[in-house]
Structure formats: structure tokens, C-alpha cells
Copies of this chain bind each other. A is one copy, B any other.
Amino acid sequence: MIAVREIIEFLDSEVIQVFGNTEKVYVKHLKPAESVDKDTLDWINPARIGKQEIVENSKAKVILVDKDVKYSSNIQSQNKTLILVNNPKLCLVKIGHKFFVENLTPGIHQTATIHSLAKLGENVHVGANCSIGNCTIGNHVIIYPNVVINDKVKIGDHVTIKAGAVLGFDGFGYERDGSNNLIKFPQLGNLIIHDHVDIGSNTCIDRGSLSDTVIGFNTKINNLCHIAHNVVIGKNVVITAHVAISGSTIIGDNVWISPNVSLRGHQKIGQGATIGMGAVVTKDIPSGETWLGNPAIRFEE
């Protein structure tokens, strides 16, 4: 049970006003709309229609609301506590992390294999059956079980790597020899992952061939993505599940890539572009544009 007083103190300047009783009022959990009960800390998404009614009908005793919701006599008589904030959803996110998410303890699982020369920062968690080469890992990094990281990979601070991800191995580059046989191009570059990057489960990111593969600050990558050699990704990029990014492609800041998108190699995706689900991108995309389809073309609203 968490005291509502404690939550209000934690939210601090986010709180505009509190209506109703806050003494000896407690919440127990967060729940989706359809499962809200008397112990739930409820919240009303500012985008919803009929917010006043939702609050009046909620089974919860404590509700995060925005300024559109009034502390009506009906609500008052129900003895509900309203916490008025600018952004209820964002406050819920913060409360969730503070009071409800269980954090992993830093430490290296005994079954993990770590290269003797690897440099690990402070507060790093390494899960079971990980294999970590001679690489550099920053502070506050969480590595879930069964992750494999090759030598020379450089990982910043506050990076999260989910289970089964494979980072920094040779890219897929072949040349034909005189007899038309495929022989592998040497893969000598590194993989550099900046701060606050999240990497999804079973995602694979290859090292560069001669230059480096780079994942920019605060970029978030979901499960089962493939990011090939020499790809350079900017900041705050969202890469959803099952995305395949071919070699040497350059992606600007704040790009959004929907599930199951394929990007040809040596493309440039301008900053702020949006790529729709299943798009097969064979051309450069200018900044700010939205592209869809197979082959992908510009979407005109």
C-alpha cells in the first residue's frame, strides 16, 4: 500500500491542486481502464472524451486528472481524491517507475562469461548466460540474460539490452572472387551505442566493416530487429519490431520506423521522417516526410 501523501510529495511541482482527503488514503496498484478497482491509482488520459463522467464512474478512490475535470459535488460525495496535474499520463509513468516497477539489482550473474579485459561501469546488471567480449560498457547498464556482445563494442550509460540480443559481430558483406565464389569482406569496424539506448530481445546489430555502426542517444529499438554494418542512426529514433536496416544506411534524428519495415542499403532517411508499417524503402526519404507501401512512396495527407 502506498500513501497518497507520498505520491503527491514525489510529484512535487507537477501537482497543480489536490481535491479531497489525502490523509490515510492509500493505493495498491495500477490497472487498465477495464479493471480499475477501489485500490487502483486511476488516471484519465487527457485525450479521452467524457472525462468528467469517467471520473464520476471510476471505482478508484484516487485519480490523476487534468484541468478539464471538475471536483463536482457528485465526486465530493463519493469521497474521491483528485490530483490535478498538467499531464496525467506522464505523471502515471513517473509514479509507475518510482513506486511499482521492480528494479534489477546491479551485479554479474555467476553464469555470465565476461572477458577479463572488458571495462564495465558502475551499477551494471548482467543476466544469466550472457557472453561479453573485450568491450566497454558504461554506468547503469542493464543486460538481460543470454545476450552476446562481441569484442570492441562501446556501450554508453543507461543502456538497456533485452534477452537474446546479439551485438557487434561481423556484418554480411561478400565479394565475388575470380571464380565467381563468394568470399567475405573483412569486418573490422566497431559498434558504438550511445547513452539511453534500449535494445529489444533477439535484436542483432552488426559491427561496421571499415567504419563503425552507430546507434545515437536515446534511440529505442524493439525486438527482432536487424541493423547491418555501417548503419548510422541518430538521436531519439524509434525502431519498432521486426525492422531490417541494410548496410551503410544513415538515419536522422527523431525518425519513426514502424514494424516490419525494410530499408535498402546506402539510403538516407531525413530527420523526423515517418515510415509506415511494412514499408519497403528503396529510395532516400527527405526530412519530415511520411512514406508507406511496397515499394514505399510518399504519403500525401
Contact = CB atoms under 8 A, between A and B. Distances in A.
Nearest to A102: B151
Nearest to A296: B278
Contacts of A198: 184
Interface stretch (A47-55, A56-64, A73-81, A170-178): A170-178
A176 to B, nearest CB: 8
Nearest to A202: B202
A277 B267 CA distance: 14
A274 interface: no
A70 to B, nearest CB: 25
A145 B148 contact: yes
Nearest to A110: B113
A148 B146 contact: yes
Contact of A93 (B30, B175, B222, B240): B175
Q: Identify which of A144, A164, A177, A188 gathers the most chain B CB atoms within 10 Å of its CB.
A: A164
B224 A241 contact: no
A221 to B, nearest CB: 9
A262 B242 contact: yes
Number of copies: 3
B224 A224 contact: yes
Interface in A198-226: 198, 200-202, 204, 206, 209-211, 218, 220, 222-224, 226
B259 A262 contact: yes
A211 B32 contact: yes
Interface stretch (A4-12, A16-24, A123-131): A123-131
Contacts of A224: 202, 204, 224, 226, 244
A226 B222 contact: yes
A15 to B, nearest CB: 15
A287 interface: no
A37 to B, nearest CB: 13
Interface in A123-178: 127-129, 131, 144-146, 148, 162-164, 166, 169-170, 172, 174-175, 177-178
28 contacts: A29-B188, A32-B230, A35-B211, A90-B175, A90-B178, A92-B186, A109-B113, A128-B131, A129-B129, A131-B146, A131-B163, A144-B169, A146-B148, A163-B166, A182-B218, A201-B204, A202-B202, A226-B242, A240-B246, A242-B244, A242-B262, A244-B260, A277-B282, A278-B278, A278-B294, A278-B295, A293-B294, A293-B295
Interface of A: 29-32, 34-35, 87, 89-90, 92-93, 96-97, 100-101, 109, 111, 113, 127-129, 131, 144-146, 148, 162-164, 166, 169-170, 172, 174-175, 177-178, 180-189, 198, 200-202, 204, 206, 209-211, 218, 220, 222-224, 226, 228, 230, 236, 238, 240-242, 244, 246, 259-260, 262, 264, 277-278, 280, 282, 292-295
